[in-house]
Amino acid sequence: MRNGRLIGMARRSGPRAPMETLESGRIGVDFGLEGDHRGRVRPGKMPKRQVTILAREDWDAACADLGKHVPWTARRANLFIEGLTLPRRAGDIVAIGDVRLEIMLETDPCQRMDEAEPGLQEALRPDWRGGVCCRVLEGGDIALGDTIRIEEKP
């Protein structure tokens, strides 16, 4: 099994709030990445977008298509990883230490990407380059440099 590494972590307090980068953080079943507005579980709802993950390799490919370097935080993802390909299907698990995140769906690039850099939305469309949305199955503490592994669903 190949492992990746957590190389970035960020959160935002509201929909248009600036991204705040972190060295470490806590992920919880009820709140996603602590302090991020997207992770809260609404009563009676199945969480689908508690934590978002972006792979450096996919981000680099999108930036190469643009011909520009754009900071990864422009994607507004929570976790930035390198060294492995994120699964392109729901149900697989991304594990970081004790934390287990179930992939629910592709992170669909929105018009906010073009606000950050014209053409970025289209550059993120192919092959799930925009990353994945996850729900938290098991929480815990994480930090930059942590090992990441994929647990494929049977």
User: What count of Cα atoms within 13 Å lies in the side-chain half-sphere of residue 129?
Assistant: 21
- Give the chain's domain count: 1
Q: pLDDT digits over 68-78, tens only?
A: 999 999 999 99
122 membership: H or E segment, kind and range: helix 120-124
In the structure, what pLDDT confidence band is assigned to residue 20 with cuts at 50, 70 and 90? very high
Average pLDDT, integer, range 54-63: 97
Average pLDDT, integer, range 4-31: 96
CATH number at residue 36: 2.40.33.20
Whole-number average pLDDT of the chain: 93
pLDDT of residue 24: 98
Burial class of 77 by CB neighbour count within 10 A (0 to 12, 13 to 18, 19+): buried
Share of the chain above pLDDT 70, in %: 99
Pick left, alpha or beta for residue 94 (phi over 0 → left; psi -120 to 50 → alpha; otherwise beta): beta
Instruction: Pick the more confident residue, 114 or 20.
Output: 20
Place of tokens 């930059």: 144
pLDDT of residue 45: 81
Q: How far apart are CA 35 and CA 17, in angstroms?
A: 12
Domain with 39 in it: 4-151
